[in-house]
Structure 1
């Protein structure tokens, strides 16, 4: 990095002869009152002394703005001026655009598994003040509950339920995004029907078996887990006992944040489990799963109402 910066400085210094510039009052005022430099309160003498750098700074700024996803300089640094103890100094600063791009994407690395990878859901932003939240009491309740848990570092999840398309997944993504970006927590975002299907395919396919085991292990160990569309999976007591209950038991024991999305209330989900589980101890499995969910969300069950956002 230092070698590249020194090289750029030599190019700048060798490319311009400061003494060849003769500036009229209009040109001096252009730099003195330019929005980029006005905070420096430059004198006429300082403008003459640093004219090479002033021109280079504006050139880099304008050219870099034309590039959407990259900096004009390969090392993502820009020439700039600053005032310190009354004097003007030349220095290099990180490209603000690239900082935003890199910071925007950095948190994605914390999604150890994400069914919705590369989805627009990464743009999910939810606050109690946003219009969508303010006009929907159920969403406002969920947002406030999340913010309180988030602010207090509570290891407590939320169970969101409601009709299709009302925004449960969208809200959960906003929640996990906040944990990843601001708390540096690892995330697993699991779509339950896909998870069950991968486990089934794994009986005959080693790649699916490996993927299913990976999701299983990550879901037990990650800081924040979202089980999306709980109840939409077609599963039996074997899956619920060996996978779901196992995951929930570990997360209860380790007090890890778990968020559930479902079309079913917790009572409806329990009834669904009872119908699907056929073994002799199926009722015990169902009771344990429901009890673990209640523990993980501290009885925070919120029905999300509203219109279908997908249409």
Structure 2
């Protein structure tokens, strides 16, 4: 009885097919990646190599894709973001896939982004890092050092005290908060960074859509809260007493660190909080708010004559 192989050999085109197979086999077995694998596994015999030729071909093709990587989004591999590896198991060739460095970096970035919540903060601020602050002038080094000390204290569970960064417009206060948020995320510490004026306007509108309590709970309980541009909001009794005051009181009682940025020093901020819609000043209420801020944060002045954006 004629064997299947003998029958196949008689089929029209078999010769061309065999020629193409031999060409591919030669190409695979002369691939530097495949040669390296075979040299590391000298126990593999010819029969094992023949049986594993399909896996060697896949490995060669995918590995060369990786060596000419076009970027994670354009990855042509069967499993985007995964690179092939070979193993010799009981004289048989096996192929498996592992995440490449770009895939790991992308997942890390997404994981970090999930740890940083923000409202009305520019995208470039959410990509801020301490690595880009090494060339900043001396006037800002104290603030950078204090920021890094906060990250270390928060990471060690020492009960870090917050910071009140203040200075004129453009000295890098918001960027520094962004760098802190990213450094905390690398250490798996969640934070919330909000542009205070815009967020307070949203809080007012959230009374009608039913999300007010949820947002208040978030600001009160997030492990690290950062209030950017405090003092630039339109001050009302409701904002001062029912929003800022309630949030800070809770965080003071629970010893949750809060960081701030502002154009005002403590004296000017107290004047801002003393504003009353009814006319006159409500200094006692303003002092109560300031007591909570002073209790929660150390004031750090950020100087510098040049606009921070010239350093980026």
TM-score by length of 2: 0.73
SS at 1:166 equivalent: coil
Query: Which residue is equivalent to 2:103?
Result: 98
Residue 58 of structure 2 corresponds to which residue in structure 1? 56
* Distance verdict in 2 for CA 1:31–1:212, change over 3 Å: same
* Aligned residue in 2 for 1:231: 231
Matching of residue 120 in structure 1 with residue 128 in structure 2: no
Residue in structure 2 matched with residue 303 of structure 1 by the alignment: 301
Aligned to 2:135: 131
SS of the aligned residue for 2:136 comes to helix
Partner residue in 1 for 2:176 = 171
Q: Is the 8 A contact 1:189 1:225 kept in 2?
A: yes
Q: 2:186 aligns with which of 181, 186, 189?
A: 181
> Contact (CA 8 Å) 1:134, 1:140: kept in 2 or not?
no
Q: How many residues align?
A: 282
How far residue 181 of structure 1 moved from its aligned partner, in angstroms, is 3.1
1:74–1:19 Cα change, 3 Å: closer
- 1:6 matched to which residue of 2? none
Following superposition of structure 1 onto structure 2, how do residues 9-24 of structure 1 map, counting pairs within 5 Å? 21-22=25-26
Contact 1:60 1:78 in 2 (8 A): yes
In 2: Cα distance, 1:277 partner to 1:155 partner: 36
Matches of 1:59 and 1:200, distance apart in 2: 58
Give the distance between the partners of 2:150 and 2:88, measured in 1 at CA.
43
**Residue 275 (structure 1) shift:** 3.9
CA contact (8 A) 2:119 2:193 kept: yes
Shift of 1:246: 0.2
CA distance in 2, matches of 1:47, 1:166: 68
- Counterpart in the other structure of 2:251: 251
Q: Distance in 2 between matches of 1:183 and 1:29?
A: 41
Q: Mean Cα displacement is larger for which, 102-111 or 210-219?
A: 210-219
- CA apart distance, 1:67: 4.4
Contact 1:133 1:139 in 2 (8 A): no
> Aligned-pair RMSD on alpha carbons?
3.8
> Quick one: distance in 1 between partners of 2:116 and 2:247?
18
Query: Secondary structure of 1:245's partner?
Result: helix
Unaligned 5+ segments in structure 1 are: 1-15
Which string of whole-angstrom CA distances, capped at 9 and with x for unpartnered residues, describes residues 145-165 of structure 1?
Answer: 224323432342111111111
1:128–1:159 CA distance, 2 compared to 1 (3 A) = farther
Q: Tell me the TM-score normalised to structure 1 length.
A: 0.74
Given that residues 161 and 168 in structure 1 are in contact (C-alpha distance below 8 angstroms), is that contact kept between their aligned partners in structure 2?
yes
Q: Secondary structure at the match of 1:301?
A: strand
- 1:80 aligns to what SS in structure 2? strand
Contact 1:126 1:143 in 2 (8 A): no
Are residues 129 and 76 of structure 1, via their aligned partners in 2, closer, same or farther at CA, if it must alter by over 3 Å? closer
Q: Distance in 2 between matches of 1:289 and 1:83?
A: 68
Contact 1:220 1:251 in 2 (8 A): yes
- Change in Cα spacing, 1:198 to 1:162, as seen in structure 2 (3 Å) is same
| Aligned pairs for 1:44-83 within 5 A | 49=49, 53=55, 55-63=57-65, 65-69=69-73, 71=75, 72-74=77-79, 76-81=81-86
What residue is the counterpart of 1:9 in the other structure?
none
Answer yes or no: is the 8 Å Cα contact 1:198–1:212 preserved in 2: no
CA distance in 1, matches of 2:151, 2:137: 13
